[in-house]
Chain A
């Protein structure tokens, strides 16, 4: 049974998240910085009355922060009780992925992606990487419960 995925781009590469985990997508108009939060946290945004943290995918993936423009999107994802945004370069497409298309990531990707990529899908000529959302948004507390 094929599963619907949201596809987004970061630094030219294509990534995907199961659509079931995505609440919505918002354009990005800036975030309120939070002092003391991990570096990959771009800040807070308000989405439909709710204040959520936004993780900058470029910083999280070890890339230089890119220009924010009209294409920039916040992919709002749900993880248990948590709602967290992921700031990406663009997000325009949804794809149905068949389990048969999805393969474990090649060793090189595993190494370079710091565990953020849990599988890859071959879609025609394109290679789409399925990200491990919990790991990307970081399950760990930023500072061990405030004790540094």
Chain B
């Protein structure tokens, strides 16, 4: 008995002391992280106070103007879950996120691998620059271009008709079933070059000796890609995937808001647009906040889930 107590004491106190003294000995580092800590506190944690709005009634504007917002418990959530268009918004958000994630990742990895194989330096640099320039364009401009390109008499339809792939021009912008894919394609065009940067830098860190060894063993170009390049960027890939899964509930807002119209509304309205509609246009902050909370909770679940799976697979994890 005494032994065990002593043992516990011996076990605990030095560890506590060591953590604290470790912190103390690294005080410069601590000091450097203070601004970041404050930043997170101010912009990420402090705004969470606004979550109380989800449990309040913002229905009566005259009362709201006087600062009177009665507590109504979970009524906002109940109302939200009685709305088919809210589930539609969740579906659209997830669908477009997954499409963006798959298209975006596959295209970026593919382009990075291709660029990695290019020996001619000027060509490589030119392609890289040209592909990542659209990243800096405003979404307004990108969407305006897309609207012209995909119009009934736009170049895409002209081409398809001329090649006899379709008989009649396809109504790309007005049919809901095309909308998700259009968003996916436009996002690839805009972001593919940007996405490759991190993969290319991961590839440069692969030891050239591995490639040489593979060549000596008789591996061809494809086998080298398959057995050296891709495993070399695997951990980067997994980390990015986990981070992206955390952002699955954020399918973007601008592109859907700008490219969508009445006809495609059932496929273009994301949770963010739903929040905007109810929050700032109808000024029901209660409902809007409730939708926002729901979105955050799902995002946390997704992130933790992805992290758990990555751990199980023996890969790098975020936390």
Chain B binds chain A? no
Question: Hey, which bits of chain A sit against chain B, CB under 8 A?
Answer: none
Residues of B within 8 A of A (CB): none
